[in-house]
Amino acid sequence: MEGAQSGGNTYLIRPNYQHKFKPSVVKECIRDILREQLSGVLYDPDDIPVLSRSLADCIKGKLKDVGFDRYKLVVQVVIGEQRGEGVRMAARCFWDADTDNYAQDIFMNDSLFCVAAAFGIYYY
Amino acid sequence: MNLHCKWILYTLTAFDADDVFGIIKESVEGTMGGNIFQQNRVDQWTSNVVELCLSQLSKLGKPFKYIVTCIIMQRNGAGLQTASSCFWDDTTDGSCTFKWENESMHCIVTVFGLAI
């Protein structure tokens, strides 16, 4: 965000098509990271806090590299143990539907499930 | 700008976690207080909680965009961990998480507020 301020205002209130937050691209990124980091992992109450934090940071880092300039990113990762319990997750957003968007992916194996959601908010 | 003026500007423009905490608490307790986990009603509860929170937040009239997420989980001894990582402006944006439980379920609501 400092770059936009120090480089002078650009007065862009809508992103170009190339720079728009594309849910399909982001979903693929999330899916690759979840598959790579969680395949074969068992739920362990001591490791999971660190793992979920590192997954969230990893996804955020990858999205920054993809190059969504002028987008603020929020990544939320939820990891739970599979014990047959019922779980429901919902999200609602109050934003500008023309510029802002989100992507999510779910990964499951026998021992855990993981939901990762990434939200992109345009910075005017 | 002296320190006092900066502090006033900060409190007027930054994300106010205490206000938001109160709003989430009311929404969750109003929707789910006294209920037992029922698979067929969970959808309705999550939608209600999130929509109630969002409508109260938009009534605050601040120049913020909000993301509200709600997780309801049945209590059967399983573990759950949530983590979030954000790329934003620390001086104006913030988040607030509220955890609630009763004998049959857990509820975790997170609100992210991003300044326009």
Interface check B101 vs A, CB under 8 A: no
State the Cα–Cα distance between residues A105 and A118, nearest whole angstrom: 9
Q: Could you give the count of Cα atoms lying within 13 Å of B78 in the half-sphere of its Cβ?
A: 23
Mean pLDDT for B31-54 is: 91
The pair of structure tokens assigned to A28 is 């693929």
pLDDT digits (tens, 9 = 90+) for B95-104: 999 999 999 9
Chain-centre distance for alpha carbon B85: 16
**Cβ-Cβ contacts under 8 Å for B41 (sequence gap 6 or more):** B35
Of chain B, the end-to-end C-alpha distance in Å amounts to 23
Task: Give the three-state DSSP class for B61.
Answer: coil
Instruction: Find where tokens 């345009």 sit.
Output: A122
pTM of the model: 0.86
Evaluate if residue B93 carries a pLDDT over 50: yes
In sequence order, the β-bridge partners of residue B83 are A77
- Report residue A91's pLDDT band, with 50, 70 and 90 as the boundaries: very high
Per CB-CB distance under 8 Å, the chain A contacts of B46 are 88-90
Contacts of A8 (CB under 8 A, 6+ apart): none
CB contact set of A32 (below 8 Å; sequence gap of 6+): none
Q: In whole angstroms, what is the distance from residue B53 CA to residue B61 CA?
A: 14
Arithmetic mean of pLDDT, B79-92: 92
B19 to chain A, any CB pair closer than 8 A? The answer is: no
Q: Which residues pair with A116 in a beta bridge?
A: A77, A105
Q: What is the CA radius of gyration of chain A?
A: 16
Instruction: Report the relative pairing of strands A112-122 and B80-87 from DSSP bridges.
Output: unpaired
The interface residues of chain A toward chain B in range 3-22, judged by CB-CB distance below 8 A, are none
Contact A95 B67 (CB under 8 A): yes
pLDDT digits (tens, 9 = 90+) for B43-64: 999 999 999 999 999 999 899 9
Q: Is B8 on the interface with A (CB under 8 A)?
A: no
* Cβ within 8 Å of residue A91, ≥6 positions away: A102, A117, B50, B67, B68, B69, B70
ipTM: 0.84
Q: What is the structure's pLDDT at A4?
A: 47
Burial of residue B21, with CB atoms counted within 10 A of its CB: 0-12 exposed, 13-18 middle, 19 or more buried: middle
pLDDT, position A3: 46
Query: Is A41 near chain B, with CB under 8 Å?
Result: no
Q: Grade residue A19 by pLDDT with cuts at 50, 70 and 90.
A: confident
Position B16 scores a pLDDT of: 86
What Cα–Cα distance (Å) separates residue A108 from each residue in A26, A40, A52, A79? Answer: 19, 10, 14, 10
3-state secondary structure of B70: strand
Q: How confident is the model at residue A27, as a pLDDT?
A: 95
Q: Note the pLDDT of residue B5.
A: 76
Question: Nearest-CA neighbor of B48 among B67, B23, B70?
Answer: B70
